[in-house]
Amino acid sequence: MKHLNFKESDRILVLAPHPDDESIGCGWLLLKHPKQCEVVILTDGRHGWLSWERIEDVITKRRTELEQALKYAQIKKFSFLDIEDGTLSDNYDKFAHLDISKYDAIFSPSPNETHPDHACVYDFLKRLNTQWKVFWYEVRSTLTSPSHYLDISNIVQQKQQLINFHASQTAQLDYASRILALNHFRGLLKYPAIEYAEAYQKLQ
């Protein structure tokens, strides 16, 4: 198990299927390397458990929450593909327009994630024939063979705040307590154990 380190010159891309996945899975990565990280939100988040609101209002709300979270993390580079939430797997052509050639590391949910929008992202990367370093991160499913970790023991409250900026989602489900419980368990990845860790799996 290796600590996840980057050179100051490395450029990092975080691919988030929905607005909030970046904070849940890679919160400390963003907080630690804000000048090096760029985030691309792949869908518009319109089906985020807010069926009683107008679709346009949900999209606007989730975009605003995302912008607040990234401002807190001091991430200045981010963009939206605006693919309809729930249809990502049918939209490879839009994904293929992303220029990923300039990044030294790319972070993606694993194909074992239970949400179909999450599960297809790595498949899309493979179809692009990427030769860059790819790391999987955890959102709704655990990684089977984590290879790297980040010690978040001293910044748990910061990560909790980052997740809670996505208030429309945390009002429906307490994502912060659940993911921090996973991060607490992931502290066992290191020996001797640490209190909290984000886990990642590097693809060979």
Query: Got the DSSP string for 10-76?
Result: --EEEEESSTTHHHHHHHHHHHH-TTTEEEEEEE--TTSS-TTS-HHHHHHHHHHHHHHHHHHTT--
From 101, 103, 41, 99, select the one nearest 69 (Cα to Cα).
Answer: 41
What pLDDT score does 77 carry?
97
Does some domain include residue 3?
Answer: no
- Bond from prior residue into 109 cis (ω within 30 degrees of 0): no
What pLDDT score does 52 carry?
76
Q: State the angle between helix axes of 21-32 and 55-72 in degrees (0 to 180), rounded to the nearest 10.
A: 20
Q: Are 65 and 175 in contact (CB under 8 A)?
A: no
Query: Strand, helix or coil at 135?
Result: strand
CATH code at 34? 3.40.50.10320
Partners of 133 in the β-ladder: 105
What pLDDT score does 14 carry?
98
Does some domain include residue 2?
Answer: no
Does some domain include residue 87?
Answer: yes
Note the pTM of the prediction, 2 decimals. Answer: 0.96
Structure tokens at 173: 């489900």
- The per-residue pLDDT for range 22-41, each reduced to its tens digit, is 999 999 999 999 999 999 99
Structure tokens at 109: 């949910």
- The per-residue pLDDT for range 126-143, each reduced to its tens digit, is 999 777 799 999 999 999
> Which residue is it, tokens 């490395």?
10
Does some domain include residue 142?
Answer: yes
Count structural domains, the chain: 1
Name residues whose C-beta falls within 8 Å of residue 70's C-beta, 6 or more positions apart in sequence: 22, 30, 39, 78
Does some domain include residue 155?
Answer: yes
Does some domain include residue 1?
Answer: no
Range of the domain at 178: 8-202
